[in-house]
Amino acid sequence: MPALVLLSRRSPRRESRNFQAVPRWIFLLAAVGALFIVLPLLGMVAKVDWAHFIPLVTSEASVAALLLSLKTALASTTLCIIFGVPLALLLARTRFTGQGIVRALVLLPLVVPPVVGGLALLYTFGREGLIGSSLQLLGIDIAFSTTAVVMAQAFVALPFLVLSLEGSLRTAGQHYEAVAATLGARPSTVLRRITLPLVLPGLISGSVLAFARSLGEFGATLTFAGSLQGVTRTLPLEIYLQRESDPDAAVALSFLLIAVALVVVVLAYRSPRAPRQATP
């Protein structure tokens, strides 16, 4: 150990390249951890009935579920961007009393079971809920509609965007924003011309994560929105339904969902580096 320290002092750049930062046994545990995630996915891929894969995923019910999932996930991601960006800005760039509580509450859907989220939505926007009963008088009926699906998805996905963007905003720092402000730029101009372009990679990765979470939403949707083909039965609900009667179709659809999620995660994983490069 002392020799290593000496060496690294002598020529830090070269040594930092050769220096092995983690002990070897870490690799073993990490490998167990990685296998724990990868093996079940392989187990599922091994179960896919490739000969009938196309007919299974292109059945009327499957296509309806996939289209509904894509449509609702896009809508909920849009909602997350519209309301999540301001939330992240307030959390990262301002100080106000109760900020810690606001952050904790916004992140709550990350740790609360989705079925609990669904119940909470039901007792708020449902027909006899806190707000739902008033909406009912205005002729707005959310229950059993695609709107309910989008709301359930936005509820669980919003923290992903806020968390991701808040991190990017903090990493990017306020240096350029301060300079722009001293040059006379108004706050809205700073936001549009400096802040948002600077954290764009973080915003994209946050949006992608929110989209992925929306796509996989199950518990809150089932509890709050119900399940009807083409209206509220998204891909995860279709998989759960098929699982009993037609396991092959359930596996094929699961594979489809995993493939979409993988593409999304790979896209999102590349971006966290970008904000750091942008930092002065």
**Residues binding other proteins (CB under 8 A):** 23-25, 28-29, 32, 122-123, 126-128, 143-144, 222-223, 225-229, 232-233, 237, 240-242, 244-247
How far is residue 147's CA from residue 28's CA, in Å, rounded to a whole number?
47
Nearer of residues 145 and 171 to other proteins, judged by Cβ: 145
Q: Work out how close the CB of 36 gets to other proteins at its nearest, in angstroms, rounded to a whole number.
A: 9
CA distances, 209 to each of 143, 252, 278 (Å) = 26, 23, 21
CB 261 within 8 A of CB 212: yes
Q: Is 218 helix (H, G, I), strand (E, B) or coil?
A: coil
Q: H or E segment at 277?
A: helix 273-278
Q: Work out how close the CB of 102 gets to other proteins at its nearest, in angstroms, rounded to a whole number.
A: 29
Q: Work out how close the CB of 88 gets to other proteins at its nearest, in angstroms, rounded to a whole number.
A: 33
CB 203 within 8 A of CB 190: no
Nearer of residues 226 and 272 to other proteins, judged by Cβ: 226
Nearer of residues 73 and 239 to other proteins, judged by Cβ: 239
Q: H or E segment at 121?
A: helix 114-125
Q: List the one residue out of 17, 15, 154 whose CA is nearest residue 87.
A: 154
Nearer of residues 29 and 183 to other proteins, judged by Cβ: 29
Nearer of residues 164 and 242 to other proteins, judged by Cβ: 242
Q: Work out how close the CB of 122 gets to other proteins at its nearest, in angstroms, rounded to a whole number.
A: 6
Q: List the one residue out of 232, 230, 253, 231 whose CA is nearest residue 242.
A: 253
Q: Work out how close the CB of 212 gets to other proteins at its nearest, in angstroms, rounded to a whole number.
A: 23
Q: Work out how close the CB of 245 gets to other proteins at its nearest, in angstroms, rounded to a whole number.
A: 4
Q: Work out how close the CB of 29 gets to other proteins at its nearest, in angstroms, rounded to a whole number.
A: 6
Phi, psi of 149 (to 5 degrees): -65, -45
Q: Work out how close the CB of 61 gets to other proteins at its nearest, in angstroms, rounded to a whole number.
A: 10
Query: Radius of gyration (Cα) for the chain, nearest Å?
Result: 23
Beta-carbon contacts of 111 under 8 Å, excluding residues fewer than 6 positions away, are none
Beta-carbon contacts of 145 under 8 Å, excluding residues fewer than 6 positions away, are 225, 231, 232
Length of the chain: 280
Nearer of residues 47 and 93 to other proteins, judged by Cβ: 47
Nearer of residues 176 and 224 to other proteins, judged by Cβ: 224
Nearer of residues 41 and 141 to other proteins, judged by Cβ: 141
Please classify residue 255 by burial: count the beta carbons closer than 10 Å to its beta carbon, then call 0-12 exposed, 13-18 middle and 19+ buried: buried
